[in-house]
Structure 1
Amino acid sequence: MSEFHSGFVSFVGRPNAGKSTLTNALVGEKVAITSSRPQTTRHAVRGLVHRPDGQLILVDTPGLHRPRTLLGERLNDLVRSTWSEVDIVGMCFPSDQRIGPGDRYLIGELAALRSKPMFAIATKTDLVSPERLAQHLQSIATAGQEAGVEWTEIVPVSAVKGEQVELLAELLVRALPEGPAFYPEGQLTDEPEETLVAEIIREAALEGVHDELPHSLAVVVEEMVPREGRSENKPLLDVRVNVYVERDSQKGIIIGKKGARLHEIGVTSRGQIERLLGTPVYLDLHVKVAKDWQRDPKQLRKLGF
């Protein structure tokens, strides 16, 4: 009988390097928020990949960045503590961007983790020509050598097209230690449902908004309770949610003209929440101002950071 391998893999990279999209492609379901806005992941989401030969537990961290707020510092601490605990680190290099100072800074940070396998993953390969991809792969190899990082594998993938995703899963499983599965077959994440619901709403709220908003937005699910008096075959879940911003002007952006924007956020996220929970949902959204919450330790605690 062939050995079974299991363990934890963390994807790292600059913000917007394709880490969350790759996590979702490997899991086959949406477990991580994917937005075109950098710095949208705030939790170490664990996606689970079940295979006959092993189990991958994918830890999707925020992008490491130079922090400007207390929230930024806490997110960076979360990234570093995650790296030290996982079995494999996979660094994502988007193929449509050249390797820059941000990447080199990260590779330098990884050089301290000498004892574990390091994968270099060239993401977004569908956006470039074969010639450009060949140059990109060479640049990744060179950047690793210069920092003293020996890549276990350099793997080009397109998570959007599903190209080489299966190969990457296979190579990652092979590099994991032998051991039993940590989670039961069929489970896709160990995040609480409230966290996933909050992330869905935050993603919907971030679509098409101005640059000032992504960092200023926090979503808290206040309660999820079955509606009383409904028959078993006609259930309804009441989901009450507060969306927090830092200023009144941002509240206006989220609510939109005559509430149109908030209505759109509600419609978009409700469909996804119903698919996630498998039950009809009544979504009650409220927008509140928590002034400068990113810099206030008390408010950060209240909002779950």
Structure 2
Amino acid sequence: MLTPELLHGLRNLSLAARQAAEGFLNGAHASRRHGAGMEFSQYRPYQPGDDLRRLDWRLAARSDRYYLRESEIDTSLTVHLLLDASASMNHRDDNGLTKLDYARLLLGALAYLATQQGDAVGLTILHPAGLQHLPPRADARQLPRLYHALETTEATGHFPGTGTLAQLTARRQRALTVCVTDLYEEGTEINTLLTRLRATSGDVLLLHLMAHNELKFSYQASVTFRDLETGHTLQIDASQQRAAYQKQLEAWLQETARQARRQGFDYHLLDTSQPLDAAMREFIRRRNLGS
């Protein structure tokens, strides 16, 4: 598997996105035996470099096997990618990557998958001062636009307020919305936005990023924490607080997942120390259901 550190080390988002997407498809195929009864006259196994527009996404969602259609009409949809670029996304894991670094790789890979399938892909970067928006397109120049926007964005300030976000839900446009965020918010602004997008656009896939050192609380001895958005600091003894922290975190994660699914979102928790495969698998499943 291609680790986030390896992909980030390429220092080339276009290359990293393609490597991640094609490595995932090829690895998933290689790890499974062909099922009995597969119609090989209509399908052939995916190979690196194949045109992903011919990939049978429905078969992939049902079986996690990746085959190309030899003679079917392609389906496509609109994919709207959302990136939380508030300052909390600057949190750095033990592997040296920030949540924003991971989000860039992830969204780049998802954009590559969707574009190769023929989908119209758009991107909105959520900044506190305003939105950076690239409308959905299916032309050959869209991927470079998306990569440039992702590579040049910086995480600053708070998650934008209701007024700034209003333009995202001003008109109805059927799409699969994929939101990558750490769910750090002052109130319920992220949940409110996704609820409105669910009503106006349809399907919402919520990819919740957490660093490994947050999930495992791998800190030792006396530690001073600083809130990246407010600047507030807190000094604690990590060893003494670990058990209480992990208990509260587990309760919060369970409630977060329950609330998201109750409101109709597809929710998936991602550890930023882990490969992108789980998120890409969830995207393929959700994309298939919407096509």
- Smaller-chain TM-score bracket: 0.3 to 0.5
The structure having more radius of gyration, on CA atoms, is: 1
Q: Which structure ranks higher in relative contact order (CA pairs < 8 Å, sequence separation ≥ 6)?
A: 2
Which one has a larger percent helix, Structure 1 or Structure 2?
2
Q: TM-score, normalised by structure 2?
A: 0.38
Q: TM-score, normalised by structure 1?
A: 0.36
